[in-house]
Structure 1
Amino acid sequence: MNAEIIAVGSELLLGQIANTNAQFLSQQLAELGINVYFHTVVGDNVQRLEQTVKIAQTRADLIIFTGGLGPTKDDVTKETIARLLQRELVMDEEALRSIEAYYARTKRTMTENNKKQALVLTGAEVLKNEYGMAPGMALTVNDVTYMLLPGPPKEMMPMFIRYGRPFLLGKLQRHERIESRVLRFFGIGESQLETEIEDLIDRQSNPTIAPLAGDGEVTLRITAKHASAVEAKKLLDEAEQAIVRRVGQYLYGYNDDTLFSKVIERLKKYGKTIAAAESLTGGRFAAELTAIPGASQTVKGGVVCYTNEVKERVLSIPASVLKTDGAVSGQCAKLLAEHVRTLCQADIGVSFTGVAGPDPLEGKPAGTVYIGVAVAGHETEVHSLTLVGDRETIRTRTIKYGCFAVLKRLTAVL
């Protein structure tokens, strides 16, 4: 099956709510081996909804609708589908009794328009709504399957899992799973990564390989389809191994991992602690680390040393270094990392100093960054970077580079 998901609701187009229903349904359909090729959002307008359905009919054999099943005049989904499919809407007595029972239970007066919610398409399989009022429905006409689900996620999700999913399983001649794995890379651009594995992408079929760029990061999503979950995993493993042989030095994690969560995980694994001296990043590195549960086991503390006075008085950076090399220098980064490690009695010290912009500092342009990583018993490393972007981008990428530098250093010395 090739599917299209159509979300109906002007509130989605206005940005008042996010379309989490489509995300949920795509995940569910992937597990069933159903390809989702299009997500469409259309407002509460009969003409535009009709146009949307007609387009979907030309490119999908499963169309799932969410929203527009309620009691008001702007709930137009099932009326529109009924007209397009030339099907009558009939009262589902079980759904009507459920709606009436709800109003009786809550001691509210049921208005006449609420009966509209119990109308279903002739010949459709009714999908019970156990967390709301309007039932869903599913039917196949001219080799296209239509499934209508309510818009509220708390109603739609359990309805699909309990009733919609079994209905689709009954339609599938062969049940294939779609399994995905996300590989996360840092320190390599999207274009360079794609160049390194271009031949792997060109000859992809099953699994497929899709590069995605993030904020200073790159991810590869590998997707395999197979009736057996074990065989699907084997396909993913083989594809990953081929990729890692090319660009494994940039791989830092999988799926929902972040650079910050991996730093905490790695520090816990080795039983090590960390402290940070932050100038241009203003405490953002420590804030990201301490936002992760369990960070108290590994994060000793830090110093926001935004001014030279704090660098000198709190972290004992010699005035001669600040005068000769400057605060924005490799030497300052080195000493900041070493001194904050000692001050906080941590195993690792990391420092950030540089120019976030927009104006130059000490004759150095915005984007000039130095990161120091000091590990007890080992020579301190200093990384010199030239970053581009606005002030926020430079600060964000700086702390991510710091994470990656810490991860690489831990791998090298522990």
Structure 2
Amino acid sequence: MNAEIMAVGTELLLGDIVNTNAQYLAKELALLGFGIYRQTTVGDNEVRLEIALKEALKEADIVITTGGLGPTPDDITKEISAKVFSQELVLHEPSYKVIETYFRNNARAMENGNQKQAMFPASAIVLDNPNGTAPGCIIVGPENKFIINLPGPPREMKPMFENKVKPFLLQFMEHTIISKTLRCIGLGEWDMATRVKDLIDSSENPTVAPYAKDGESILRITARAKTEEEARMMIAPVEEEIRRRIGEYIYGIDEDTLEDVIGRELVSHNKSIAIAESVTGGMIASRLLSFEGGMSKVLKEAFVTYSDESKMKYLGVKEETLRSFGAVSEETAKEMAQGLHEATGSEVCLVTTGIAGPTGGSEEKPVGLVYIGIYLDGSVHVWKRYFTGGRERIRIRTTIAALDYLRRLMNGIEVIE
């Protein structure tokens, strides 16, 4: 079967918002075995959207739209999709009740259009949206054609596709396709791809594909088989070979994040952690706090010790150390980690100090110089790193490196700088 991806929204057409939805859907549909011959972006215009949908349905069996499901007059995707299939919209009571409950303290919102989000063609399969107010739908048309309307925000669209649309699409497949994602830190995409090049180049089933995202590298193993069990059995030896080559860089699988992996390790061993950040300014604490599996049980305290005075006041860094070696130094990072342990009693202490720029660097200590310190099991470890890029990139890369060093240290894996 063929599919077309259609993004709806003038803000996308004019480039005000980057269309990450199309990239995500294209990859997912390809993995499911759908042919994708075209992606389209259409503004919030009824005539143009109707023409675009009719043109798409000439070649595609399924058109997946994103955006235009909101409560305002220019949110027209569902209405025009129904029109293309000559279907009238009717009130979907379950959706209306959910929306009504959501806006129970805001009657004006319901009066001003939110109720239209509960209107669907009678033939539609309604897709509930626990992450927002706009349900999606699958509209069944003549000649086994479908239009699937999904919300625009990625945090709503992705789980709706994964949990609702993908199971629907699987019925059109003769085979089951299963993927497993291996997530790597500390290994660039090119370096990672070089080490498993023969596996990537192989066109056999299963396939291996590399990706780069947010400071990490990803390998996705995909197998096609008659059953899920058979597909997973095909993936297993390929995964084993990849782990043999780059296992120390693999921190997690599928939807794992670094903070998930570290959080689970801390909670399972009941180890408390404290954080003191200078150059990263709270980024590390923010990421760890996104772990939902019990971070409140193990995170004792987090400081942003940006000034020399705060390093001395809260962490016990000696004035002489700061005067002799500077705030960005191995000596200061070591005293920060040791002092954080003494101040909080935490079993794990993570600290950062560095120069993010754009000013403040020198020939001896250039912009991008950072030190990462960790107190663990009675010892203090300090690493010196140089990161390139702008201020935000340096801070993000420091955060990722610090979390990876902590992961490695807690698991007895050598830290590779």
TM-score (norm 1): 0.74
Write the letter of the residue equivalent to 1:183: L
**Counterpart of 1:5?**
5
Write the distance in 1 (CA, Å) between the matches of 2:241 and 2:167: 35
Conservation of the 8 A alpha-carbon contact between 1:303 and 1:340: no
Q: Does 1:375 align with 2:376?
A: yes
Residue type of the partner of 1:226? A
1:209·1:220 contact (CA, 8 Å) conserved in 2?
yes
Tell me if 1:236 matches 2:239: no
Is 2:338 the counterpart of 1:335? no
Q: Gapped runs of 5+ residues in structure 1? A: 83-88, 107-113, 121-125
Change (3 A) 1:314 1:257: same
Secondary structure at 2:141 match in 1: strand
Question: How do residues 8-47 of structure 1 correspond to structure 2 at under 5 angstroms?
Answer: 8=8, 10=10, 13=13, 34=34, 39-43=39-43, 44=45, 46=47
Q: Secondary structure at the match of 1:136?
A: strand
Equivalent residue number for residue 201 of structure 1? 200
Does the alignment pair 1:404 with 2:404?
yes
- Which deviates more, 394-403 or 318-327? 318-327
**Is this contact kept in 2: 1:8–1:77, CA < 8 A?**
no
Query: C-alpha separation between the residues in 1 aligned to 2:319 and 2:261?
Result: 36
Describe the shift of the 1:235–1:343 C-alpha distance in structure 2 as closer, same or farther (beyond 3 A): same
Contact 1:127–1:159 (8 Å) recurs in 2: no
2:319 aligned partner: 319
Specify whether residues 220 and 10 from structure 1 end up closer, same or farther in structure 2 by C-alpha distance, changes over 3 A only: same
Distance 2:166 2:314 in 1: 63
The match for 1:210 is 209
Displacement of 1:161 in angstroms is 9.1
For the residues of structure 1 that align with 2:140 and 2:67, how far apart are their CA atoms?
12
1:6–1:64 CA contact under 8 A, matched in 2: yes
Give deviations 1:353-411, integer Å, cap 9, x for gaps: 11111113474111000111111234x22111000111111111112111111111111
- Going from structure 1 to structure 2, the CA distance change for 1:325 and 1:203 (only over 3 Å counts) comes to same
| Structure 2 Cα separation of the partners of residues 163 and 306 of structure 1 | 47
CA separation of 1:245 and 1:164: change in aligned 2, threshold 3 A:
closer
Post-superposition CA distance 1:28-59 (Å, at most 9, x none):
9689754556543323364676467657755x
1:188 aligns with 2:187: yes
2:296 aligned partner, one-letter code: S
Once the two structures are TM-superposed, the CA of residue 301 in structure 1 deviates from its matched residue by 1.1
Task: State the alpha-carbon separation in 2 of the partners of residues 365 and 203 from structure 1.
Answer: 43
Task: Provide the C-alpha distance between the structure 2 equivalents of 1:337 and 1:331, rounded to a whole number of angstroms.
Answer: 10
The answer to whether structure 1 residue 354 and structure 2 residue 357 are counterparts is no
**Residue type at the aligned position of 1:313:** K
Q: CA offsets, 1:108-152, max 9 Å, x none?
A: xxxxxx9xx9999xxxxx446699999933233xxxx52134566
1:314 is paired with a residue whose SS is: helix
Q: What amino acid is aligned across from residue 299 of structure 1 in structure 2?
A: L
Cα shift at 1:26? 7.3
Q: 1:253 aligns to what? A: 252
1:69-91 C-alpha deviation (Å, 9 max, x unpaired): 99999755566x57xxxxxx5xx
Hey, what's the Cα distance between the residues in 1 that align with 2:297 and 2:62? Answer: 50
Distance in 1 (alpha carbons) for counterparts of 2:401 and 2:17: 34
Alpha-carbon contact 1:127-1:164 (below 8 Å) kept: no
**3-state DSSP class of the match of 1:236?**
helix
Is the CA contact 1:274–1:341 (under 8 Å) kept in the aligned structure 2? no
Alignment of structure 1 residues 111-150 onto 2, 5 Å? 126-127=123-124, 136-140=139-143, 145-149=144-148
Gaps of 5+ in 2: 101-115, 129-134
**Inter-partner Cα distance in structure 2 for 1:27 and 1:236:** 19
Structure-2 change in CA distance of 1:337 and 1:35 (3 Å): farther
For 1:233 and 1:221, the matched residues in 2 are separated by 13
Q: Whole-Å Cα distance in 2 between the matches of residues 355 and 161 of structure 1?
A: 44
Q: Give how far 1:346 is off.
A: 0.9
Distance in 2 between residues matched to 1:55 and 1:163, nearest whole Å: 19
1:337 Cα deviation from its structure 2 partner: 0.9
Distance verdict in 2 for CA 1:57–1:180, change over 3 Å: farther
Equivalent AA in structure 1 for residue 387 of structure 2:
L
- Counterpart of 1:286, as a letter, is A
Cα drift, residue 185 of structure 1: 0.9
Structure 1: distance between partners of 2:282 and 2:62: 50
Cα offset, 1:305, TM superposition: 2.1
Q: Secondary structure at the match of 2:398?
A: helix
> What is the rounded CA distance, in whole Å, between the counterparts of 2:137 and 2:288 in structure 1?
45
List aligned pairs for 1:37-186, cutoff 5 A: 39-43=39-43, 44=45, 46=47, 50=51, 54=55, 57=58, 60-64=60-64, 76-77=80-81, 89=86, 98=90, 126-127=123-124, 136-140=139-143, 145-149=144-148, 169=171, 172=172, 175-186=174-185
Aligned to 2:388: 388
C-alpha separation in 2, matches of 1:218 and 1:168 = 28
Give the superposition deviation at 1:2. 3.5
Take 1:100 and 1:302, find their aligned partners in 2: how far apart are those partners? 48
Distance in 2 (CA, whole Å) between partners of 1:337 and 1:407 is 16
The structure that has the greater radius of gyration is 1
Contact 2:337 2:350 in 1 (8 A): yes
**Local SS of the residue matching 2:357:** coil
Letter in 1 for 2:371: Y
User: Which residue identity lines up with residue 336 of structure 1 in the other structure?
Assistant: M
**Structure 2 counterpart of 1:365:** 366
Which letter does structure 2 place at the counterpart of 1:320? E
Change (3 A) 1:355 1:233: same
Q: How far off is 1:319 after superposition?
A: 2.6
